[in-house]
Structure 1
Amino acid sequence: MTASKPGRSRFSGWLAELRTSAAGAQLPASAVEVMGLAALLLAAVGNSRLWALPPAVLALSLLAWTWRGGSVSAGTSIVARILLLACAYLLGAVHGSLDPALAVGVALAALAVLSESLLAAVSDAVYPVSANLPGSGSRPDRSLNTNRVALVNGAAVLVALVCAFTNLFGVIALAVATAALGLALFTGLQALTRVRARRSSETKLHAALTAYEPVFLVHWNAPAGTAYQIAMWLPYLERLGKKFFVLVRSETNFNEVVGLTKAPVVMRLGLNQLDDVIAPSLRAAFYVNTATMNNHVARYTNLAHIQLNHGDSDKVPSHNPVFRIYDKNFVAGQAAIDRFAANGVSMPAEMFTIVGRPQVENVAVATGPIASIANPRVLYAPTWAGFYADSNYSSLLVGCDIIKALVARGCSVVFRPHPYSQRSAELARECERIRTLLADDRRANGRPHVFGAEAEVAMTVADCFNASDAMVSDVSSVVADYLYSEKPFVMVAVSVPAAQFPEAFPLARAGYVIDAYGGRLQGLDAALDDLLGSDPLATTRHELKKYYLGDIPADRYAQHFLDEASRYL
């Protein structure tokens, strides 16, 4: 394979982050402010209206930058736009008789622009309190569009510049500025009304929850796009048959969860807002990740705090000492318990309960050897790069070479990358390369590859498992889940050489290993020969299945979790 150039890769990543960061967005804004001031001074002392062209061009550039993706943020580059309005005023005053309509229009446009910061602050105070909770009031209308205000204000600035440059039609600038200020005032009144509605809901919240009598809550706080963490558990928590609600800490998470359950969803932002949600009937709190904000709820000692996590793997986060803060850690099998001890994290045995992975209850078990399948279908399910360097296990940078090798052997492919792969420009690019490769091969050779929305949205992880005869992955919880099927799998060693891989990640004892350490792909053909041929690890997989996923009868696999959870309710 051709190794990527580290320097170029780092630069591309930095540039991508800069373009999407708040700091990056401020660079062009600051440039407009400085250059706008220069143009303003030149307009005051110059002898030509041509000095109005630089600020006008820069204003258009700023709008193009800010509106990338079809949105504009209220409160962005206020100073720049005020400078441009001052430039418009001076153009009219210095280079001709100032049109009173233009002067008033500039003043109104400036008021509209200055109102954005206050409007944004009031709008931030409009947020949902609850959904699906009887007696708490209706969910607040979130149709406020402060960005529309910024868009209209930007138009008012540009119209004022054009009118000043031409020394004509000042009344048009006045009309547009009046409309912009009117829209800002109307949006502000809407925001104030909805803030009052939000406060009214908050005053009813504790009484509504007390009357609802929930037995447990589920606390979830996570970055946008990670709803899979809680989505995998909600169906089983609902099967407990007890009243519960989901407590989230951001509006993004609120909107994601509301689309997943009919149970009440409550949003509380700060630590000081949580007392209102601890209803007297509550007995337990469940968690599906180790978010720092979990501490805010774990301090309530009258509740049993149970960590479910969102998958079991040999990754570093799976033996984080933070698991000690929970009364119980529900784990899939003995492997999860031993993992803590093997990595020097002392945890009393009574802190663990083996419950299996109920999410695999519908995963089909292999019925025969893979060698008997003429054209096997292989699932490629790579993980993402992780938040930190020590948890970067993604094989996506060598993914194309793996896919090419599978296709060359007559395999069809199901491609389902981790959702977080899109957070990295580099990994997102590799995902797109693989999708293109599979699309081209499907057109050319008719192989029934599955990828894109079909594999990542329409199908569940279990569906992908059942649609495959073997799997290629890396250090990921999907490997342990796939073990339930007893089908063969390959793991790609990225963080350590293949020789050290089974020691660092014990689940690799049940799989065939491809060495991708240092970006160099080795052992690919040998691993695929074993995966698709004699499969010498079939017996090992059967033995490790109980170790990783619990020795639980198949006909009561999910029920075992429900029974254990019910003990705390």
Structure 2
Amino acid sequence: MPVPTSPRRFRAAIRRYRFPPTGLPDRPAVARALVAAALVGACAAQAVAALSPHVPLLVAATALSLAVEGVLYRWQRGVLTVFAKAHADITVRHVLRDLLLVVGLLRLGEQDRETQYAAIAAGLLVCYALHCAIQAVSVLVRRTRTLPVVTRNIDASALRLSPAPPAVLRRPGHRLLVLGLPATAGLAATAATDDTRFAAAGVVLSLALALAGLAALLPRLLPGRRPAGEQEVLDWFDAWLAEYRPTVGLYFSGGSASAYQAGMWLEPLARLDARPVIVLRERFMVSRIPPTDIPIVCLPKVPTLMRLEHSTLQVLIHPSNSGKTSQVLRIPTIKHAFVNHGESDKLSSCNPYAKAYDEVWVAGPAARERYALAEVGVEDKDVVEIGRPQLDAVLPCAGPPAGRRTTVLYAPTWEGWDGEPGNTSVVTAGENLVRALLADPDVRLLYRPHPLTGSVDPRAGAADRRIRELIRAANRSGSGPRPGRSEELAFRAQELDRLTTDGFDDDADQVERMLRQSAPEPGRAEAVARATAAWEEAYWASLPEGEHQVVTEARPSLYACFDVTDLLISDVSSVITDFLASGKPYAVANTAGLSEQTFRAAFPTVAAATVLTPDAAGVPALLESVRHPEKDELSKARAELKLRLLGPAEPASQERFEAAVRALCSAALGHRGRRQRPQPALPGQRQGGAPTLEVPVGHSG
């Protein structure tokens, strides 16, 4: 067992040793193991059959091997990484498969066919050589199509962009499978029939396909077929900045699962009376950002990022911290504001990194107090209360549940990096809470786990799977979709996909996406908003009466779930703060092992919540208070806590957000003006010339 190389990894290893995953088996892991075992078994059977020789087994093992390869590339791509780490990548596996077929033919054949078999083997070698040549040319083509700037919602046609080469020519695994399939099939047919014409025909067909692929790629290296070069792209980007003249932007860097953090600030940014832009650092993130009309630029390299210093950009807002944030903070002409992607009582909501920004924009007084108490270096004068603009559209509480059903949203957070037992309720309380809710026939449960659940602690992932199984079991006796509603939902989904996907497929590379993701049509943002609202209405209407839901996709959004929810059960997280905008009842699971009094004192966002213990004993009484508002003793506390966490209702959060942007833009312009003024000469400087530093003789500068 390898020794953990960091304290965090060491603590995680200890937790795994003391608390091994329990419960239901990991079905994806079992499937991966079975597929890997099938491929290894097929290879072993092929080797035995080739050396025996045994024709039926040889043909069957070859067919099984090819079928498993197809399954790997279609459904189990993670297994490919495992084989690659063992130096058994697709090339090695394919060569071994064909080699065993040739060995089998030699064992089965007669001496007078050695010349024919030698020619077939030579043809196979040429096929592999052409595969290597195609791979080399493919790499060169990919380099010419890797631009220093990636954009979206910007007309980049001047960069001579073109569609991507066929995917089969860009992906080595797919290419070798497709181009080598005729040769492998021909060899297997020859082994079965003892007719060498099948092998010869298969090899010739594979050679023809390989030559056609090479001929399709080579012209893309010609100067007239390449996209613009690096300097040409940078000059074009500078010209676009000068023409568009952005004033405020959103800066984001992170992993693929964190795109939602940027997504929640898109609409507030788009509603500003400004020229907004989104600045990204990772190329893959360009396609991960939700639909928006705002221009998007991805600047992977620091020198390219520094070109923003000479632009009109005045303010960048930051919804998250990342290692690459420090790079953009070096630009002195831009003011930076940290807006966070959510606020909670966790230590992450008052990270010491926040002091690196010019200002920290928070929702309400509670966050200001949180920074003051944390003493992380953020001065009170740099904290600006703007509310939460995203919550302006959340529907307020309209009274007790309408109709028979009480909709409960269980939205636990993830386990976090520090291993604290109170981070998430999924492990110790999740199943008890779900069982208690499902036991009430008048409850409709919406289960929305955090996207990162189980990414650190395997126990959280196992508990999440068990919760989903409980919900599936509860739904088995239910009715199907409502008549006519599923057709309406399919229509609305098709309309929304048409507006948001622009017909992209997985085979498009970044250059092709830039070509097809040009400036959107005017009014598309409003059309997307209308289509999203229509889809959400159709989605909720299509659900069978009382059917419980596991919500893991981007649609419906968390805020859409708020609007149909009568009660929230969550952990200490930003979900509580956001849900308070509705004024509806909420409960928090106390899994930290603290007394209720200590728990409330430690986490101010719990002040207006019903505290639930891990055994979920308080769920029936909680549901009773939701259904009968006269029994709800926390309504006044919720109103007071809402004011403390989110600030006043007037002016609206969007207005306060705009005011903060204008003020920081004004500060940025003032700073630029002072930088551009002639500065008095410092001692040692020569008037009228370049600054110099007088160094005594005998000393180096």
Specify the TM-score bucket, using the shorter chain as the normaliser: 0.7 to 0.9
CA contact (8 A) 2:186 2:200 kept: no
**Secondary structure of residue in 2 paired with 1:491:** strand
Work out the CA distance in 2 between the residues paired with 1:182 and 1:26. 32
Aligned length: 550
Q: How does 1:42-441 map to 2 (within 5 A)?
A: 48=53, 56=62, 59-60=65-66, 63-64=69-70, 66-69=72-75, 76-92=89-105, 95-96=109-110, 97=113, 98-99=115-116, 102-115=120-133, 118=136, 121-122=139-140, 125=143, 126-127=145-146, 129-134=150-155, 137=159, 141-142=163-164, 144-145=166-167, 146-147=170-171, 148-156=174-182, 158-159=184-185, 161-162=187-188, 165-166=191-192, 167=194, 168=196, 169-182=198-211, 184-186=213-215, 188-189=217-218, 192=221, 196-197=227-228, 199=230, 201-257=233-289, 260-368=291-399, 370=400, 375-387=405-417, 389-390=419-420, 393-397=423-427, 398-407=429-438, 408=440, 410-421=442-453, 425-426=461-462, 429-430=465-466, 432-433=468-469, 435-437=471-473, 439-440=475-476
CA contact (8 A) 2:363 2:386 kept: yes
1:470 maps to 2:580: no
Which stretch shows the higher mean deviation, 442-451 or 290-299? 442-451
CA contact (8 A) 1:365 1:484 kept: yes
Name the TM-score, length of structure 2 as normaliser: 0.68
Q: For residues 28 and 176 of structure 1, do their structure 2 counterparts lie closer, same or farther at Cα, with a shift above 3 Å needed?
A: farther
**Secondary structure of residue in 2 paired with 1:361:** helix
Task: Give the structure with higher Rg (CA).
Answer: 2
Work out the CA distance in 2 between the residues paired with 1:83 and 1:216. 57
Deviation, 1:564, is 0.9
- Return the structure number with greater relative CO, CA threshold 8 A, min gap 6: 2
Q: Percent of aligned positions with the same letter in both sequences?
A: 22
Work out the CA distance in 2 between the residues paired with 1:401 and 1:16. 25
Deviation, 1:344, is 5.0
Deviation, 1:80, is 2.8
Q: Deviations over 1:481-513 (max 9, x none)?
A: 111222110111234445343233221121011
Deviation, 1:108, is 2.8
Deviation, 1:281, is 1.0
Partner of 1:567: 663
Work out the CA distance in 1 between the residues paired with 2:430 and 2:154. 46
What is the letter of the counterpart of residue 265 of structure 1? I
Work out the CA distance in 1 between the residues paired with 2:365 and 2:191. 76
Work out the CA distance in 2 between the residues paired with 1:255 and 1:535. 45
Deviation, 1:274, is 1.9
Work out the CA distance in 2 between the residues paired with 1:226 and 1:358. 20
Work out the CA distance in 1 between the residues paired with 2:29 and 2:226. 34
Work out the CA distance in 2 between the residues paired with 1:165 and 1:202. 58
**Secondary structure of residue in 1 paired with 2:469:** helix
Deviation, 1:220, is 1.7
What is the letter of the counterpart of residue 220 of structure 1? F
Name the TM-score, length of structure 1 as normaliser: 0.82
Given the alignment, which residue of 641, 645, 652 partners 1:556? 652
Work out the CA distance in 2 between the residues paired with 1:138 and 1:262. 23
CA contact (8 A) 2:608 2:638 kept: yes
What is the letter of the counterpart of residue 659 of structure 2? D
**Secondary structure of residue in 2 paired with 1:274:** helix
Work out the CA distance in 1 between the residues paired with 2:137 and 2:34. 20
Q: Deviations over 1:248-273 (max 9, x none)?
A: 2333311122x511222222323343
CA contact (8 A) 2:241 2:311 kept: no
Work out the CA distance in 2 between the residues paired with 1:490 and 1:61. 51
Work out the CA distance in 1 between the residues paired with 2:579 and 2:279. 31
CA contact (8 A) 1:316 1:391 kept: no
What is the letter of the counterpart of residue 383 of structure 1? T
CA contact (8 A) 1:214 1:279 kept: no
Deviation, 1:314, is 1.9
**Secondary structure of residue in 2 paired with 1:251:** coil
Work out the CA distance in 1 between the residues paired with 2:662 and 2:315. 10
**Secondary structure of residue in 2 paired with 1:463:** helix
Structure 1 unaligned residues grouped into runs of 5+: none
Given the alignment, which residue of 619, 630, 636 partners 1:539? 636
Q: For residues 303 and 415 of structure 1, do their structure 2 counterparts lie closer, same or farther at Cα, with a shift above 3 Å needed?
A: same
What is the letter of the counterpart of residue 475 of structure 1? V
**Secondary structure of residue in 1 paired with 2:367:** helix
Q: Deviations over 1:4-48 (max 9, x none)?
A: x953439956x957988xxx9998799699969x949x96xx573
Which stretch shows the higher mean deviation, 79-88 or 462-471? 79-88
Work out the CA distance in 2 between the residues paired with 1:140 and 1:335. 52
What is the letter of the counterpart of residue 377 of structure 1? T
Work out the CA distance in 1 between the residues paired with 2:68 and 2:403. 59
What is the letter of the counterpart of residue 9 of structure 1? T
Work out the CA distance in 2 between the residues paired with 1:19 and 1:329. 47
CA contact (8 A) 1:298 1:305 kept: yes
Which stretch shows the higher mean deviation, 432-441 or 324-333? 432-441
CA contact (8 A) 2:278 2:296 kept: yes
